[in-house]
Chain A
Amino acid sequence: MSTATESASKQTWYSSLVAFFSKWGTIITIIALLIFFSATMPSFRTGSNMVTIMRSISIVTVIATGITVSLTVDGFDLSVGSVATFAVALIMSFFVWYGWGTIPAIIVTLLVTLIVAVVNSFLIVKLRIYDLLATLATMFIFEGVAMTYTGGGSISQGMPRLDGTPTTGTIPPEFRLIGQSPYIIIIMLVIVTIVHIFLTYTKHGRYLYIVGGNREAARLSGIPVNRYRTLAYFLSTLLAAMGGIMLGARIGSAQINAGAGYLMPAVAAAFIGFSVAGIKKPNAIGTLIGAILVGLLENGLIMMSVPYYSLNIIKGLVLAIALAITYYRKHD
């Protein structure tokens, strides 16, 4: 009997350690990385480098909050990278090809990209295709749409269109401000705060989580399930498009597949965010912390002169670890 109690207490000790790490592991890792990089590289510690890190994660974070919203309804939006690409192409064309001002360009870009949300929710809610597969399809479709729209090339100021027509439009300097610190960081923080408040403190946020938790029970409780699933995909597209606009402001041109590279770190950030502080649900603050971890790692490794072409190995590993923490549960 006494040995049984002993082994039981050992077991609880072990499982509470596991629980502690799955709760606080992300934050501990961030602190550990900060200490390690600071100790090995004096230049890392500088305030300007911290700002650089925050600036570099801004776009990833905003796109990742989009994925986060799609995760709340137990969905998954893979098309966010293509939405960002599409948004960059649109807004640059509005500036360079048509000479529009900042405000109308942003508004029209956000509206047009919502076509992706319409297609996504039609495939997922009406035709009942699995989220992951439906958005895999739209990911390709809108990558193609963006590329077709730009004629398979990039758009930048002063560059003629592919058919040789010269362009006269310019990128407004106030638009470029969006891509610079501190504005880009402030925009990110505002977006994260709004999404956090929306998900945590409003009726709609509660319903999104409930729909994700048990769709049939939610339906039989009188929640308009399809409406909320559609809402989730509209929000994820909207947030991804905002990320795309920030990206356009940052690089000042539309490159082929500009947004594609943001998909993986955004997925990683959203999944790391699951477990932060033991929330065990997709959430905006956690996603921000996840993005910080990914950005920190990337920044530190680049400064340690790990070649850029090897970075994906690290990023992939971080994603694997984040998924492991999310899905690993002691069997009970």
Chain B
Amino acid sequence: MEPKHRLDMKGISIEFPGVKALDQVDFSVQSGEIHALVGANGAGKSTLMKILGGAYGHYQGDIYFDGKKVDIRYPADAKALGIDVVYQEVDTALIPYLTVAENIMLDKMANEMKGKHFIRWGDIHRSAQEVMKQVGIQLDTHTLVQDLTLAQKQMVLIARALATNTNFLVLDEPTAPLSQTETEELFRLMRDLAQNQGVGIVFISHRLPEIFEICENITILRDGKVVAETTIDQLTQQKLVELMLGRRFEETYPKMQAPIGDVIFEVRNLNEEYGRVRNVSFSVRSGEIVGITGLVGAGKTELCKTLFGAYPIQSGEILLNGKPLKMKSPHAAVQQGVALVPEERRKEGVLVEEPVFVNLTLPSLDRFTRGPAFVDTRAERATARQVIQDLGIRTPSENQKVAYLSGGNQQKVAVGKWLIADAEIYIFDEPTKGVDVGAKHDIFELIGELAKQGKGVIYASSEIPEILDISDRIYVMYDYAIVKEFETSEATEEAILFYSAGGQQ
């Protein structure tokens, strides 16, 4: 058994341009505990953990390790105390063209090779092997990280954290990209680390059942302040949501009933050039929300991108109002009335370095030009303000850089830009990923509104309850193909899971 440690953050405050992200926050965690940190988008969870990990040095307040005051200003300070943070965006922390072994041993190679200059490759692979055995993952250490799945990358990151001496491990929304079995695997590992190796774990997640399943203690943040710190058995899911949002909340999303018309969008025997979509046929009627579900890696994102012209089509047809579409590029797709809200919001959905209004008008800039091609920024800003109001985007003004908005509000921007563009078919790829319940509700309402206007909506998600809540019809994908179609009224979570997992009748 490792010695017990205790970590206390006291009176932590931090500001970013225009926002006070954290205000006098206290947070404690000790060895052997799994501590949940929850809050709505923009509550300050990730910020607090970035401070703990040394990524933000300009905070105020104190941090104590075993009661002794410590100064964490750089990542190296945190590492020295055995604090490791596995951030949300796994790809930014891994080096894609290095092997699994090199990525796992990266910290060790970077920090513990003072005075040594030659690498013993045998040792690197052996040590990586050992850590992986401890974590319980089976991978060839010679595999390049770019060839791994998201879940495997996450495991590699956790393994890297454990390769060095780890007292505290922060997992920032680790389960967001994981399938059910992968999540269970992760939980098994977390329990093992906490109980048998005395690691203190901070767990951030938007999925409430998970928190109740795995955590003992919980700290709830709202608007940069701690609103509650308690043990999990004192709470119900309902109560937790109320604390997060500061208001009462209806648990289910009342499905808006839009009149469903004729088929407006049809896909016939679609195959993608590299086999990432296999012989897919389906249709969408006007006013209809069609759910596409399946496990992570089943090919939902690939289908969405192919429908949007972002992946090359090998064969098959896509028809809108009976007319075949030419999907050579996303540009062509937009011109023909198809819109996509992509899964990777920060990389693909919004331009974080640009202000909100530039993001919102981007796909429809033609409508805001005068003369040959002069942009009418006044009209642009006016429309942007309208959308900000309609969608309840929380931002000081339309001129704020999107980087300074919270995840949920960034997502609203990613959706909002297509509302201005006025498409016929809207494709949503995991629109609620990393979005809190409040913003999720707003996004659902928005999608319902689109359906009411007679648009066709394709809603891809691996969150089966969500799909059951919002869709009229459901297609289940497995291994890049559609394997089952349900009327939502006749579908159950169990049945969908059965087909998602490759079950056949």
Contacts and interface: CB of A to CB of B under 8 A. Distances in A.
Contacts of B82: none
Contacts of A217: 347-351
A219 interface: yes
Nearest to A331: B57
Interface string B159-194: 000000000000000000000000000000000000
Contact of B354 (A8, A204, A213): A213
Contact of A220 (B56, B340, B421): B340
Interface in B1-57: 11, 56-57
B350 A203 contact: no
A201 B61 contact: no
B369 A203 contact: yes
A220 B348 contact: yes
Given A222-B333, A222-B334, A224-B331, A213 B374 contact: no
Given A202-B374, A206-B365, A213-B353, A219 B58 contact: no
Interface in B332-370: 333-335, 340, 342, 347-354, 358, 362-363, 365-366, 369
A174 interface: no
A296 to B, nearest CB: 32
Nearest to A206: B375
B61 A4 contact: yes
Interface of A: 1, 4-5, 8, 11, 201-204, 206-207, 210, 213-214, 216-224, 331-332
28 contacts: A202-B372, A202-B373, A202-B374, A202-B375, A203-B366, A204-B373, A206-B375, A207-B365, A213-B351, A213-B353, A214-B352, A217-B348, A218-B351, A219-B310, A220-B308, A220-B310, A220-B330, A220-B348, A220-B349, A221-B334, A221-B417, A222-B330, A222-B334, A222-B363, A223-B362, A223-B363, A224-B329, A332-B58
A220 B350 CA distance: 10
Given A4-B60, A203-B375, A221 B363 contact: yes
Given A204-B373, A210-B351, A216-B348, A332 B333 contact: no
Contacts of A331: 57
A228 B58 CA distance: 40
A221 B60 CA distance: 40
Interface string B291-333: 0000000000000000010100000000000000000011101
Given A203-B365, A332-B58, A1 B11 contact: yes
Given A217-B348, A219-B310, A222-B331, 12 more contacts: A1-B11, A4-B60, A202-B374, A203-B375, A213-B351, A214-B351, A214-B352, A218-B351, A221-B417, A222-B330, A222-B421, A332-B56
Nearest to A209: B354
A11 to B, nearest CB: 7
A217 B353 CA distance: 12
Please list the 5 inter-chain residue pairs (A to B) with the smallest Cβ-Cβ separation, ordered nearest first. A222-B334, A224-B331, A202-B373, A203-B373, A221-B362
Contacts of A216: 347-348
Contacts of A222: 330-331, 333-335, 363, 421
Contacts of A5: 60
A201 B351 CA distance: 19
Main secondary structure of the interface of A (DSSP, over half): helix
Nearest to B310: A220
Interface of B: 11, 56-58, 60-62, 308, 310, 329-331, 333-335, 340, 342, 347-354, 358, 362-363, 365-366, 369, 372-375, 417, 421
Contacts, number: 78
Nearest to A203: B373
A210 B354 contact: yes
B381 to A, nearest CB: 14
A216 B353 CA distance: 14
A210 B372 CA distance: 20
A11 B58 contact: yes
Contacts of B374: 201-203
Nearest to B380: A206
Contact of A219 (B62, B330, B372): B330
Contacts of A210: 351, 354, 358, 362
Contacts of A220: 308, 310, 330, 340, 342, 348-349
A332 B56 CA distance: 6
A201 B375 contact: yes
A5 B351 CA distance: 34
B379 to A, nearest CB: 13
Nearest to A214: B351
- Among A11, A203, A204, chain B packs the most CB atoms within 10 A around the CB of A203
A11 B15 CA distance: 13
Contacts of A218: 351, 362
Contacts of B308: 220
Contacts of A202: 369, 372-375
Contacts of A207: 365
Contacts of B417: 221
Contacts of A203: 365-366, 369, 373-375
B347 to A, nearest CB: 6
Nearest to B372: A202
A220 B331 CA distance: 8
A203 B373 CA distance: 5
A202 B369 CA distance: 8
A218 B417 CA distance: 12
Contacts of A1: 11, 60
B335, B351, B358, most chain A CB atoms within 10 A? B351
A8 B59 CA distance: 8
Contacts of A219: 310, 329-331
Contacts of A332: 56, 58
A206 B61 contact: no
Contacts of B373: 202-204
A207 B334 CA distance: 15
Nearest to B334: A222
Nearest to A204: B373
Contacts of B329: 219, 224
Contacts of A213: 351, 353-354
A256 B204 CA distance: 65
A223 B335 CA distance: 10
Contacts of A201: 374-375
B58 A8 contact: yes
A12 B130 CA distance: 46
B425 to A, nearest CB: 13
Nearest to B11: A1
A122 B293 CA distance: 40
A222 B333 CA distance: 7
A216 B373 CA distance: 23
